[in-house]
Amino acid sequence: MNSPGLQRAVFLLLLAIVTAAFVWVLSPFFGAVFWAVIMALLFNSTFQALLRRLRGRRNLAALLTLVFIMLIVILPMVLLSAAAANEISTLVARVGAGDINFRAYAQQVLAVLPRWLTELMARFDLIDIQSVAEKFSDALLKSGQAITSQALSIGQNALVFVVNLTVMLYLLFFFLRDGEQLSKMIRQTVPMERAQTHYLANKFSTVVRATVKGNVVVALAQGALGGLAFWVLGIHGAVLWGAVMALLSLLPAVGAALIWGPVAIYLAATGSVWQGVALAAWGALAVGMVDNVLRPILVGKDTKLPDYVVLLTTLGGISLFGISGFVIGPTIAALFMAAWALFSREEEDDPAPDAQV
């Protein structure tokens, strides 16, 4: 009853239980822990450079790196979010007052379509533009009512955001300062060969850096170019639509076009032909070129993932994990391929068993 095998089994069961309990306890702060790890990986080179200049003073180097992150990442994000939120409230108010009527816009587009096209759409039950516009307008009105009637809930959500941000920054300080020791301890603890853990750890850090840096650069470029085009054309809410295009650009190939495409069609259909053509050309050549040129260089080159895999895993990751999924999805795919590559390599290296006669 007290054999070494039984003791080992009980210990492994206890280890699994306490590990699952630890993950469960941390699950409310999953986003904060995850982004603290991501930021530590991204800015480790900055920390190391400061560490050399400060002659090994790790606490001060970590603190200065944290301040640097707050100035170039956190503060711009908060300011942009505040500007976008202000434009959202203005847009919702104008929709509620009738100044912006998406139903009327849909009717204007339908009115200029050729009759054969509208009949074809009706015959095959294709996309009903007017119905889509009505649903979009109703969603905006309902969101405006929710904003005005649930101020307490918004305050609570803001408090949760502040708590998670504080936790993330607190963890980030220690991940920067003690990251090397933590990484070494994890590699030594995982029951795998040293070469395998080293390969997978390098693959994880490479994919995370490439995914975050590449997608952020593409998002900023596409959002800025799209918002600039809207501002030049005098379209209300250029900051908001630029931010939305930046967010949607996380979806390769189709993201930003979901915004500038319908606007270009509306402009062309309502008499502003040159503006619509110019926006379509700008979107296809400038905004689209950013996605077609920069994303393969910044993301696909280092992750070594095909574009369709990046698209599918990004969509799947976002649907499961929210905004963090654009990193988690491709990272899981890259680790999946790396693990199977290690397995196939081991199978090839194993000598074939002697044939039985």
**Are residue 245 and residue 305 in the same domain, yes or no?**
yes
**Are residue 315 and residue 282 in the same domain, yes or no?**
yes
Q: In the structure, what pLDDT confidence band is assigned to residue 63 with cuts at 50, 70 and 90?
A: very high
**Are residue 160 and residue 237 in the same domain, yes or no?**
no
Confirm whether 9 is domain-assigned.
Answer: no
Q: What does pTM read for this prediction?
A: 0.68
Confirm whether 76 is domain-assigned.
Answer: yes
**Cα atoms found within 13 Å of the Cα of residue 293, Cβ hemisphere only:** 9
pLDDT in the model for residue 173: 92
CA distances from 133 to 129, 137, 291 (A): 6, 6, 28
Confirm whether 337 is domain-assigned.
Answer: yes
Confirm whether 291 is domain-assigned.
Answer: yes
162-188 pLDDT tens trace: 888 889 999 999 999 888 888 888 777
**Are residue 154 and residue 225 in the same domain, yes or no?**
no
**Are residue 183 and residue 325 in the same domain, yes or no?**
no
Confirm whether 330 is domain-assigned.
Answer: yes
Distance in angstroms (rounded) separating the CA atoms of residues 244 and 250: 10
Tell me the average pLDDT across 308-329.
Answer: 82
**Are residue 235 and residue 265 in the same domain, yes or no?**
yes
256-315 pLDDT tens trace: 788 888 788 778 777 777 888 888 888 888 887 777 777 777 766 666 777 777 778 888
Taking alpha carbons only, the member of 234, 233, 261 closest to residue 245 is 261
Taking alpha carbons only, the member of 241, 270, 275 closest to residue 256 is 241
**Are residue 273 and residue 323 in the same domain, yes or no?**
yes
pLDDT in the model for residue 148: 45
**Are residue 160 and residue 222 in the same domain, yes or no?**
no
**DSSP letter (8 states) at residue 294:** I
- Boundary-marking domain end, from 162, 189, 216: 189
Helix, strand, or coil (residue 34) = helix
**Cα atoms found within 13 Å of the Cα of residue 8, Cβ hemisphere only:** 3
Share of the chain above pLDDT 70, in %: 73
Q: In the structure, what pLDDT confidence band is assigned to residue 60 with cuts at 50, 70 and 90?
A: very high
Q: In the structure, what pLDDT confidence band is assigned to residue 356 with cuts at 50, 70 and 90?
A: very low
Q: Return the higher-pLDDT residue of 355 and 298.
A: 298
26-56 pLDDT tens trace: 888 888 888 898 899 889 889 999 988 988 8
Confirm whether 271 is domain-assigned.
Answer: yes
Q: In the structure, what pLDDT confidence band is assigned to residue 65 with cuts at 50, 70 and 90?
A: very high
**DSSP letter (8 states) at residue 292:** I
**Are residue 286 and residue 176 in the same domain, yes or no?**
no
**Are residue 169 and residue 313 in the same domain, yes or no?**
no
Taking alpha carbons only, the member of 41, 311, 33 closest to residue 176 is 41
- Boundary-marking domain end, from 189, 214, 248: 189
Please say whether the beta carbons of 294 and 221 come within 8 A.
yes
Distance in angstroms (rounded) separating the CA atoms of residues 10 and 167: 35
- Boundary-marking domain end, from 153, 171, 189: 189
Q: Does the structure show a pLDDT above 90 at 16?
A: no
Identify the domain containing residue 236 by its residue range: 193-344
Confirm whether 284 is domain-assigned.
Answer: yes
* Tally of domains in the chain: 2
Confirm whether 56 is domain-assigned.
Answer: yes
**Are residue 174 and residue 201 in the same domain, yes or no?**
no
**Are residue 226 and residue 260 in the same domain, yes or no?**
yes
